[in-house]
Amino acid sequence: KTEILVVDKSVNSKKTYAQAVDMLNAGQVVAFPTETVYGLGAVATDDTAVKRIFEAKGRPSDNPLIVHIGTIEELHDYIEDIPPVAKKCMEAFWPGPLTLVMKAKPGVLAPSVTAGLSTVGMRMPDHPVALELLRTLQKPVAAPSANRSGKPSPTKAEHVAEDLNGIIPCILDGGITGIGLESTVLDVTLHPPVILRPGGVTKEMLENVIGPVLEPSHEEQRIESTPKAPGMKYTHYSPEAPVFLIEETANIRAAIENLQQQGHKVALLAPKTYKETAADYFFTFGEENNLEQMGAHLYDALRSCDKTDATIILATATSKKGMGSAIMNRLEKAAGEKWFTL
Ligand code: TXA
Ligand code: MG
């Protein structure tokens, strides 16, 4: 049985952190909140512990994990040489939703963390619970999102429990995560740096600090030997029923009617203003044109569909500007690039 430990500013959580730290030191995995999504952590220098993460998630072993640290100083223990561009990024965005892929010091981190690559993704999360855990532990923590592989990432402790109850010993419950989408992954071993996964730190924000960066779409056309985030090739973020994207400007009412006439039960994921359509189920992305709210609600909305008997899911698309790039990246994956048109 999985223990859910609430960590909350209003209670003295010292004992709870000590309990989680003991489990990590004993080679166990612990789920914890970050400002992006919940992570499933293990001590990043303990290969047996790290393997438990892959097992619990059902994650392919060739997909490397992100290493979380509680202070910038620790970085020198794991990274061979820190590029000046990385230093600028850390100053501007750490702690925060930015993972930097750099050259790993050989033989320090558990081999399973990097899945055999010479590089490693490092990040310092901006969440009081994650930081308290890391600083009490005083060790690096390897942590992917705390979902079963292929499912939407968890933004609440309940989401973690849905996927991993009985499989992991402990979840630190710090409430709903703020951003709701995983960190931006930036490869700073390449020149110019390449965004391997869009996230809370946008291309525009990065370029203001370090100049031009490339995005995966452009990257795809570049030399074949360029390393990409191995995670990009797997199915992701998918509820049970098929997801179709639909333009916000499309006739959504007509689309729903058409699908219902074919015998479908339709779940609609859209801004609040679409509440009054005749969809069988409606899950909101929040206020219209509010990308922060859309990012924060996206995974919860996708997961909610699995609790219904909907046979098809329609999700409204948004622009790819700013945070929209990360949102559409996840939505396109959830939909397998399928668009609904009448
Ligand atoms: O916000 C986040 O990043 C969350 C929280 C828990 O910190 N973590 C997370 O981890 O999303 P995960 O494992 O679900 O995603 C890590 C991504 C994968 O796409 C992986 O392929 C990529 O980062 N990645 C990790 N190490 C890499 C490396 N050395 N080179 C290229 N890509 C790497
Ligand atoms: Mg993940």
Can you list the positions of beta strands (E) in 160-222? 170-173, 184-187, 194-197
Question: Given pLDDT bands bounded at 50, 70 and 90, which one contains residue 11?
Answer: low
238 domain-assigned: no
pLDDT score recorded for residue 342:
85
221 domain-assigned: yes
The answer to whether 68 is annotated as binding is yes
CATH number (domain holding residue 280): 3.40.50.11030
pLDDT score recorded for residue 325:
95
The answer to whether 237 is annotated as binding is yes
User: Which of 5-9, 101-105, 246-250 shows the lowest mean pLDDT across its residues?
Assistant: 5-9
pLDDT score recorded for residue 223:
38
pLDDT score recorded for residue 98:
98
User: Which of 231-235, 269-273, 277-281 shows the lowest mean pLDDT across its residues?
Assistant: 231-235
Question: Given pLDDT bands bounded at 50, 70 and 90, which one contains residue 229?
Answer: low
288-315: average pLDDT: 96
| More confident: 231 or 134 | 134
Domain total of the chain: 2
Q: Are 183 and 143 in contact (CB under 8 A)?
A: no
ipTM of this complex: 0.99
3-state secondary structure of 329: helix
User: Beta strand 39-43 with 30-32: parallel, antiparallel or unpaired?
Assistant: antiparallel
Residues 120 and 25 in one domain: yes
Which of 233, 254, 287 is the last residue in one of the domains? 233
Residues 131 and 256 in one domain: no
pLDDT at 7 over 80: yes
340 domain-assigned: no
Using CA atoms, how far apart are residues 189 and 103, in angstroms rounded to an integer? 7
pLDDT at 174 over 80: yes
157 domain-assigned: yes
Smallest-distance ligand from the CA of 37:
1
Which of 186, 203, 233 is the last residue in one of the domains? 233
88 domain-assigned: yes
CATH number (domain holding residue 88): 3.90.870.10
The answer to whether 36 is annotated as binding is yes
- The rounded radius of gyration (Å) of the Cα atoms in the chain is 20
Tell me which residues have their CB closer than 6 angstroms to ligand 1. 34, 36-37, 39, 63-66, 97, 99, 101, 114, 117, 119-121, 123, 125, 143-145, 182-183, 185, 196-197, 227, 229-231
pLDDT score recorded for residue 228:
58
pLDDT at 226 over 90: no
Burial call 261-271: b when 16+ CB within 10 Å, e when fewer: eeebebbbbbb
| More confident: 231 or 49 | 49
Q: Phi/psi at 213 (nearest 5 deg)?
A: -130, 155
The average confidence (pLDDT) of the chain is 93
Residues 298 and 327 in one domain: yes
Mutate to test the pocket of ligand 1, among 32, 34, 62, 65 (most ligand atoms within 8 A of CB): 65
Residues of the domain holding 258: 243-334
Residues 30 and 79 in one domain: yes
Residues 272 and 151 in one domain: no
Query: What is the residue with the minimal CA distance to atom 32 of ligand 1?
Result: 229
Question: Ligand 2 (ion): which residues have CB within 5 A?
Answer: 145
pLDDT at 332 over 60: yes
Q: What is the Å distance from ligand 2's center to 151 Cα?
A: 8
pLDDT score recorded for residue 234:
59
The closest alpha carbon to 269, from 187, 191, 206, 330, belongs to: 330
Q: What is the Å distance from ligand 2's center to 251 Cα?
A: 33
Residues 40 and 121 in one domain: yes
The closest alpha carbon to 326, from 292, 301, 302, 300, belongs to: 292
pLDDT at 210 over 70: yes
Question: Given pLDDT bands bounded at 50, 70 and 90, which one contains residue 13?
Answer: confident
Residues 86 and 133 in one domain: yes
> Each residue of 43-82: pLDDT tens digit?
999 999 999 999 999 999 999 999 999 999 999 999 999 9
339 domain-assigned: no
Residues 201 and 296 in one domain: no
Please, which residues have CB within 8 angstroms of residue 243's CB and are 6 or more apart in sequence? 302, 313, 314, 315, 331, 334, 335, 336, 338
pLDDT score recorded for residue 180:
98
Q: What is the Å distance from ligand 2's center to 256 Cα?
A: 31
Residues 205 and 151 in one domain: yes
pLDDT score recorded for residue 170:
96
283 domain-assigned: yes
Which of 211, 233, 255 is the last residue in one of the domains? 233
Using CA atoms, how far apart are residues 233 and 218, in angstroms rounded to an integer? 16
Residues 7 and 139 in one domain: yes
Residues 151 and 283 in one domain: no
319 domain-assigned: yes
Residues 69 and 91 in one domain: yes
